[in-house]
């Protein structure tokens, strides 16, 4: 690097060690950036779940991937085979000064729908990869998730089968799955991820 702007260093050649942070590390960090928090949710096909959270004010970044399984670096095919043990999930980076974890939960339950009371099924999609779950990153998140699940169970009068577990390693899904509905899917029309948008989310392949 040649520095010309600072007179004492003008014309000198300096060598720096530069650490490049990969784009995927920003999408699904193991630890949140300072002042931010992580949340991980599964509520059926991850395309629609991601778009729902993209629209929430205070959510900074979302990424789809595979959670709570036993295989390292699973592919979509591995997960769909039900052999890897993963569920399709969404990792959310949010600013707790703008939206709290508790305030994210209604968006989760809205997407989970009947999946909350039906094991390993979301709409027409069946299999353990479509099970619902709230995968907490702190004791506070765990307590909030369990309270909300108990409240829903009391309201419905049915057992809620949504998992509430500590977040296990999260593996990013393939690039084409990321922000899939916003980008339009396979030749479809992109759906708005604008904050506060309430348009019906349409899932398509």
Which tens digits make up the pLDDT trace of 23-49? 454 555 667 889 999 999 999 999 999
Mean pLDDT of 145-174: 96
45 is catalytic: yes
Q: Which residue has the higher pLDDT, 157 or 203?
A: 157
When pLDDT is cut at 50, 70 and 90, the band that residue 100 belongs to is very high
Above pLDDT 70, what percent of the chain?
85
pLDDT score for 27: 55
Q: Which residue has the higher pLDDT, 15 or 160?
A: 160
Question: Cα dist. 176→13, 23, 36, 184 in Å?
Answer: 41, 14, 26, 11
pLDDT score for 203: 84
pLDDT score for 197: 97
CB 173 within 8 A of CB 65: yes
Q: Global pTM?
A: 0.85
- Above 50 in pLDDT, residue 111? yes
pLDDT score for 19: 44
pLDDT score for 163: 97
- Above 60 in pLDDT, residue 6? no
Per the prediction, the chain carries an average pLDDT of 88
- Above 80 in pLDDT, residue 20? no
pLDDT score for 182: 96
Rounded Cα distance, 117 and 115, in Å: 5
- Above 50 in pLDDT, residue 22? no
Name the catalytic one among 28, 38, 39, 45.
Answer: 45
Q: What is the 3-state secondary structure (H, E, C) of 19-36?
A: CCCCHHHHHCCCCCCCCC
Beta strands in 119-184 (DSSP E): 121-122, 125-126, 132-136, 163-166, 171-172
Which residue is listed with tokens 């690039």?
175
Phi then psi dihedrals of residue 64, to 5 deg: -100, 150
Half-sphere exposure of 186 (CA within 13 A, CB side): 3
Identify the structural domains of the chain with CATH numbers, from first to last. Answer: 36-183 (3.30.1060.10)
């Amino acid at each position: 690097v040649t520095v010309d702007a600072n007179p004492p260093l003008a014309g000198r050649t300096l060598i720096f060690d530069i650490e490049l942070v990969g784009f995927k590390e920003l999408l699904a960090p193991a630890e949140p950036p300072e002042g931010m928090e992580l949340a991980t949710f599964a509520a059926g096909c991850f395309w629609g779940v991601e778009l729902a959270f993209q629209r929430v004010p205070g959510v900074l970044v979302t990424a789809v991937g595979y959670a709570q399984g036993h295989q390292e670096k699973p592919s979509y095919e591995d997960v769909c085979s039900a052999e890897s043990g993963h569920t399709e999930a969404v990792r959310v980076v949010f600013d707790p000064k703008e939206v709290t974890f508790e305030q994210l939960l209604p968006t989760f339950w809205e997407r989970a729908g009947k999946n909350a009371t039906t094991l390993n099924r979301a709409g027409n999609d069946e299999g353990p990869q479509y099970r619902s779950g709230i995968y907490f990153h702190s004791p506070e998140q765990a307590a909030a998730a369990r309270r909300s699940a108990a409240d829903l169970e009391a309201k419905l009068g049915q057992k809620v089968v949504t998992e509430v577990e500590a977040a296990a390693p999260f593996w990013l899904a393939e690039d084409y799955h990321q922000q899939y509905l916003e980008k339009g899917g396979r030749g479809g029309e992109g759906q708005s991820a604008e904050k506060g948008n309430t348009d019906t989310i349409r899932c398509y392949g």
